[in-house]
Amino acid sequence: MPRGESSTLELVESLMALRRTLRCVEHVGEMSGSLGFAALGVLAYIQRNEPTRATDIAKWVGVGPAALSRQVAELEGSGLLERTPSPVDARAQLISLTARGLEELEQAYARRTGMLAGLLEEWDETDIAAATTTVNKIQEVLRAGSVSLGPKTPHSPEGGRG
């Protein structure tokens, strides 16, 4: 194996394991009645970019329009977001958080932050900062790579953290 491939393979395996672990954590969150990762991601993007269009959310989340439409309809039905006509494009709608949506988002972040703080109680601030920096660097590289390696599709996320 050429130099560096074993390290890259180890990183791939670690990222796959992290993804599985995050899914397990997501299911715990869903069982406790909090927002799942998908809903939390959509609401967080909207908060940082509101008002926004569904197509922009889909690109950032990395899903197709149909999947996002279902997610938006569910969140709207729960009273967490609202759609209004776009003032510049009569065919488009703009999506914003409701007051309840913002409250749910803040509560979900507080729950997840508390849970993670408990799990990381043996870590010091330096460890947490280093992990945050590394995760953000990986995310930036993967997002940029997904755009540059292939055609822009509904499943190729663009942009940074939001």
**Reading across the β-sheet that carries 81-85, which strands appear in turn?**
52-53, 93-97, 81-85
For residue 152, pLDDT beyond 80: no
- Within 8 A by CB and 6+ apart from 75, the residues are 39, 42, 43, 81, 101
For residue 150, pLDDT beyond 50: yes
Note the pLDDT of residue 65: 86
Note the pLDDT of residue 120: 93
Quote the pTM value: 0.71
Note the pLDDT of residue 81: 96
Kindly provide the residue ranges of all beta strands, DSSP E only, lying in the chain, ordered along the sequence.
52-53, 81-85, 93-97
Instruction: Choose between 61 and 106: higher pLDDT.
Output: 106
* Among 142, 147, 48, 159, residue whose Cα is nearest residue 95: 48
Q: Domains of the chain: which residue ranges?
A: 1-33, 35-148
Confidence of residue 155 (pLDDT cuts 50, 70, 90): very low
CATH fold label, 35-148: Arc Repressor Mutant, subunit A (1.10.10)
Residue 3: helix, strand or coil by DSSP? coil
For the chain, the residue count is 162
Residue 150: helix, strand or coil by DSSP? coil
User: pLDDT tens, 5-63?
Assistant: 888 899 999 999 998 988 887 776 555 666 777 888 899 999 999 999 999 999 888 88
Q: How far apart, in whole angstroms, are the C-alpha atoms of residue 147 and residue 139?
A: 12
User: pLDDT tens, 112-138?
Assistant: 888 889 889 999 999 999 999 999 999
Maximum CA extent, the chain:
57
**34 CB neighbour count, 10 Å cutoff:** 19
